């Protein structure tokens, strides 16, 4: 199973991020390239425990979260297109410095080499093992790169 904790996988993702430019257009979804980059920097800060994020599982997650997580990370199948984004991670601003966001995202991905956030609780999936987090981060990153044809 591919995981963000594998150095070679991380490097492959970073090579793909390096290819992003303003010319990339979404093949699905509502985000433009800047919003996708900003979404991913914010999302990874949440996973890594950067800034002041709160960690609490939603009620529906307590009922369905573990089942949904197992289904999403059980195999190599990429995430489906148009998976809804939680309001917390929707980016309203539509333009900004793409190169800066790419650099920030790459720095964050490299931090998974030293991942340690025992406080992390996914808002829907709940408490996750390090292995589950590694697969989820890989699949989330791959999903958004595929969204923009990368």
List, for residues 74-110, the tens digit of each pLDDT value.
999 999 998 888 878 888 888 999 999 999 999 999 9
Distance CA 112, CA 134 (A): 8
Distance CA 8, CA 55 (A): 30
- Say what the pLDDT of residue 35 is: 97
Secondary element (H or E) of residue 77: none
- Answer yes or no: is pLDDT of 3 > 80: yes
For 71, residues 6+ apart whose C-beta sits below 8 A from its C-beta are none
Distance CA 142, CA 81 (A): 12
Domains of the chain, residue spans: 7-147
Angle made by CA atoms 78, 81, 86, in degrees to the nearest 5: 100
Mean pLDDT of 120-137: 96
């Amino acid at each position: 199973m591919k995981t963000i904790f594998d150095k070679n996988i991380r490097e492959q993702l970073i090579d793909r991020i390096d290819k992003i430019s303003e010319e990339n257009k979404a093949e699905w979804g509502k985000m433009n390239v800047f919003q996708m980059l900003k979404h991913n920097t914010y999302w990874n800060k949440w996973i890594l425990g950067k800034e002041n994020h709160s960690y609490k599982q939603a009620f529906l997650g307590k009922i369905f979260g573990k089942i949904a997580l197992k289904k999403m990370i059980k195999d190599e199948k990429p995430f489906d297109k148009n998976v809804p984004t939680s309001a917390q991670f929707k980016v309203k601003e539509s333009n900004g410095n793409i190169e800066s966001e790419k650099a920030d995202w790459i720095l964050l991905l490299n931090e998974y080499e030293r991942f340690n956030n025992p406080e992390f609780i996914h808002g829907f999936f709940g408490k996750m093992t390090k292995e589950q987090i590694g697969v989820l981060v890989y699949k989330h990153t791959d999903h958004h790169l595929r969204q923009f044809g990368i």
